Amino acid sequence: MLEKSQGQDIDRLAFKKILWHTLDELRKIRRREERSEEINNELEFKKEKVEWDNLIILKDKVKELNGIEKLVFFEHLLAQKEITNLVEVAGCSRQTLQRVKKGLLLKLKNALKN
């Protein structure tokens, strides 16, 4: 650095270089910690206990659903497609699908409570 910057304020340039290097290193550490936190969260999610009774209840309840309710359940709730994308497939308005979704969630909630 001394050879490259002859005649300039070397102390100020050295301070800036140290500051930039330190900031870069801190950013690297933060990114690594964020990635490891995401991995830990995923591992904890996978460790959660699956309640087989609830899955059996839901399986039986799905058999009782009508066509639009099945569409909302499988495509929107499970596949996470947007309601607005399902309007054309369902052949009804977005508001109707929202109403069906609300009713479906209530049915499933009541089935799991019993």
Nearest to 77 by CA among 111, 46, 100, 95: 100
Annotate 6-48 with three-state secondary structure: CCCCHHHHHHHHHHHHHHHHHHHHHHHHHHHHHHHHHHHHHHC
> Percentage of the chain surpassing pLDDT 70?
84
Say what the pLDDT of residue 23 is: 96
Please report which confidence band the pLDDT of residue 114 belongs to, taking 50, 70 and 90 as the band edges: confident
C-alpha to C-alpha distance for 49 and 109, rounded to whole angstroms: 19
